[in-house]
A = this chain, B = another copy of it.
Amino acid sequence: MSSPFTPSDPDFARRVQQSFAAQAIMQTIGARLAEVDVGRVVIELPYATGLTQQDGFVHAGVSATIMDSACGYAAFTLMPADARVLTIEFKTNLLAPAAGDCFRAVGQVRKPGRSVTVAEADLFAVSGDDQKLVATMTGTLMTVLPRD
């Protein structure tokens, strides 16, 4: 897949992997980093009963957790080697109950910027061969540099 964006740090994938590994919440919920491309990151999360709301579906906040990290790391792939990434805000629409064997959060940069980047994520519920869109997110991310 070709990307419309050019990374400023060719070693972006390693930076994303290291930062993701430092997000303890990802181990707590059982999420893993599935794909890292220029401006695009996929996080996968198997269903677990410990992640659910009152009806047995994955809680919207858990969905938001992997979509936020997918957006944040998609933005992070385009940032300089010494940058940190912060979420300024995000908004998510829950389109259908998060029911399935596994969930895929696909984060993609919509508009990179020197200090502010906008990214979007789609969340798919996967059950066997079936894949269904269950949530979307728009996130605004900030690039924080050492001199800031």
Contact = CB atoms under 8 A, between A and B. Distances in A.
A81 interface: no
Contacts of A54: 19-20, 22-23
A111 B138 contact: no
Interface in A107-140: 110-111, 115-116, 118, 120, 133, 136, 138, 140
Interface string A10-43: 0000000001101111011100000000000000
- How many copies altogether? 4
A136 B108 CA distance: 14
Contact of A64 (B19, B64, B86): B64
Contacts of A25: 50-53, 59, 61-62
A49 B62 contact: no
A96 B68 contact: no
Nearest to A94: B87
Among A53, A69, A96, max chain B CB count under 10 A is at: A53
A121 to B, nearest CB: 11
B65 A61 contact: yes
A129 to B, nearest CB: 19
A21 to B, nearest CB: 8
Nearest to A84: B55
Contacts of A111: 93, 95-96, 133
Contacts of A9: none
Nearest to A52: B24
